[in-house]
Amino acid sequence: MRVVLFFLLFAFLEVNAQTGKEGVEVQKSRLLLLPASTVENSATQQYGQLMRAAQQKNALNRDPQQLERLHRIARQLVPHATRFNKDAQKWRWEVNLISSKSVNAFCMPGGKIAFFTGILDALQLTDDEVATIMGHEIGHALLEHGRARMSEQLLKNIGISAAAVMLNLGQVSAELLAQAANLAVSLPYARKQEADADLVGLELAARGS
């Protein structure tokens, strides 16, 4: 797997070298109505609620070996995150493991990462494969796909005309933000967003190997 990652990264670097660029090149989402700080604060609250709910159900996995594995991989990837989003150096990164058969993982705005034991156990992932998946999820956060989705949801809820006259986003209710943050985790990303996150994840995994 590591050989494949390096080979693919080398191919990307070769293509971009011809245009004077280093690494893969992707664009952030353009629909960013909400300030990044508002989105990150809302995501932090939502993440905290998810972790507290998991703890209450005795599903917040504390397996030291599994957690250290995820933390180690995250430490390898995070230093390269600023290549795609300079604000990532200020994020308060966090990684948790939830006991669940769900074959899933996510990274919320601001660097809040969660893996479910189902994806590790069912697929018997190697470290390189975990790094690729984690890099992909981090890619969504770096490219601000969640922020764009929250902005889109707010537009649907309050209307374009209302959003156009909003000079102070303090008018946005906590309930609307919570709904938008929840959808940012639960709804599927667009195909282009998934493809861009793949590219970012591939480079993060290769550089962190």
As a whole number of angstroms, the distance between CA 183 and CA 34 comes to 15
Q: What is the pLDDT along the chain (209 residues), one digit of tens a residue?
A: 444 444 444 444 443 433 334 666 776 666 677 788 888 998 999 999 999 999 999 999 999 999 999 999 999 999 999 999 999 999 999 999 999 999 999 999 999 999 999 999 999 999 999 999 999 999 999 999 988 887 777 767 665 445 444 435 555 555 555 555 555 555 567 788 899 999 999 999 999 98
Place of tokens 């966090």: 94
Domain that residue 79 falls in: 2-208
As a whole number of angstroms, the distance between CA 128 and CA 140 comes to 19
As a whole number of angstroms, the distance between CA 163 and CA 154 comes to 8
- Asked if 150 and 184 touch (Cβ cutoff 8 Å), the reply is yes
Q: Provide the number of structural domains found in the chain.
A: 1
Q: What is the DSSP letter of 83?
A: G
Q: pTM score, two decimals? A: 0.78
Catalytic residues: 137
